[in-house]
Amino acid sequence: MSQERQRSSSCCAERVPGRSDDLRQVVREGYAGIALAEDESTGCCGASADDVAAALGYDTDDLAALPEGANLGLSCGNPTALASLVPGEVVLDLGSGAGLDVFLAARRVGPEGRAIGVDMTPEMLSKARRNADAFRDATGMDNVEFRLGEIEHLPVADASVDVVISNCVINLSPDKPQVWREIARVLKPGGRVAVSDLALLQTLPQAVAESIEALLGCVAGAVLVSETERMASDVGLVDIALESDASYMDAMADWRDPLYVRIAQDLPRTAEPSDYVTSLKITARKP
């Protein structure tokens, strides 16, 4: 979720634009602000970036070994844990940000493997590439690469990737079916998907669905769990498994996340955000 947007007192009056290009620009500007922020210690929810990651099951030793600033606290799951990576594999991270999951994947696939991150925000890409220099200096491995591009049009060759991962990003796309088509295109036969994202258990109230703040917080752009499964199936993926995890939304309630509080104000009086939004673990395979 966007710490920059949560610090703005005027953003709640803004509404999600209808055109895809305008929506991408809103997302790009929001995450550029995060990349350029001087304070990297505060995560998405009022908690520290490390606390957010720890709550999602990231290993504290892995986090300590990351380049400084790679973890911006923008996660809603732990896709590298889902992926069961093995040495020598090629891993692609959609919406890689400052590189958190790319660097963790790079350590798991080792020097014979490769970890590629794609992000559409130039400021975030610059941050990730600086972190990549620090990663190479610390590990001696040159198996990390960051590319500028949209996840709907991946700058990656057909059938060239063993595993596609993504962490709380697909919900931001204005054309999610196209993202899943791209995932299927770049995967090798037998390749795997391991995605963490936010998804809906039921349709959001209009005030939340139209809020730019909720969009950048990975809520307004989310789709129903059943729709996510359908999109993965439509592109030919098999062995699709979806696991809903309420712990993320529960943690935001405990942290008194500002976005969580504002969303709750727009829900029916007896409802909670966790009645509408869940963290979703998605795994699948290309035949």
Non-local (6+) Cβ contacts of 231 within 8 A are: 176, 177, 180
Enumerate the domain spans of the chain.
3-285
Question: Hey, how many other C-beta atoms are within 10 angstroms of the C-beta on 246?
Answer: 13
d(C-alpha 145, C-alpha 48), whole Å: 27
pLDDT the model gives residue 286 = 98
pTM metric for this prediction: 0.91
Res 40: pLDDT? 52
Task: Please give the radius of gyration of the chain, using alpha carbons only, rounded to the nearest integer.
Answer: 18
Residue whose structure tokens are 């970036």: 49
> Which residue carries 């990730």 as its tokens?
128
Bridge partners of 194, per DSSP, are 165, 283
Q: What is the mean pLDDT of each run of 10 residues along the chain (287 residues)?
A: 36 60 88 80 61 89 94 93 96 98 98 98 97 97 98 98 97 96 98 97 91 84 96 98 88 77 84 91 98
Query: Contact 30/216 with Cβ under 8 angstroms?
Result: yes
The per-residue pLDDT for 141 is: 97
DSSP 8-state class, residue 67: P
Residue 17 confidence (pLDDT): 67
So what's the pLDDT on residue 263? 82
CATH superfamily, with its number, for domain 3-285: Vaccinia Virus protein VP39 (3.40.50.150)
Q: What is the pLDDT of residue 9?
A: 31
What is d(CA 193, CA 76) in angstroms, rounded to the nearest whole number? 16
State the pLDDT at residue 38: 62
pLDDT value at residue 2: 38
Beta strands in the chain (DSSP E): 90-94, 114-119, 144-148, 161-167, 187-200, 238-245, 277-285
User: How many Å separate Cα 204 from the centre of its chain?
Assistant: 20
Instruction: Note the pLDDT of residue 258.
Output: 80
- Calpha distance 239→136 (Å, rounded): 36
What is the rounded distance in angstroms from the CA atom of residue 279 to the CA atom of residue 247? 8
Cα–Cα distance measured from residue 57 to residue 55, given in angstroms and rounded to the nearest whole number: 6
pLDDT of residue 18: 63
Angle, CA of 248, 252 and 257, to the nearest 5°: 150
Question: What is the pLDDT at residue 142?
Answer: 97
Residue-wise pLDDT for 156-181, tens only, equals 999 999 999 999 999 999 999 999 99
**Torsion region of 127: left, alpha or beta (phi above 0 gives left; psi -120 to 50 gives alpha):** alpha
pLDDT, tens digit (0-9, with 9 covering 90-100), for 53-77: 988 999 999 999 999 999 998 999 9
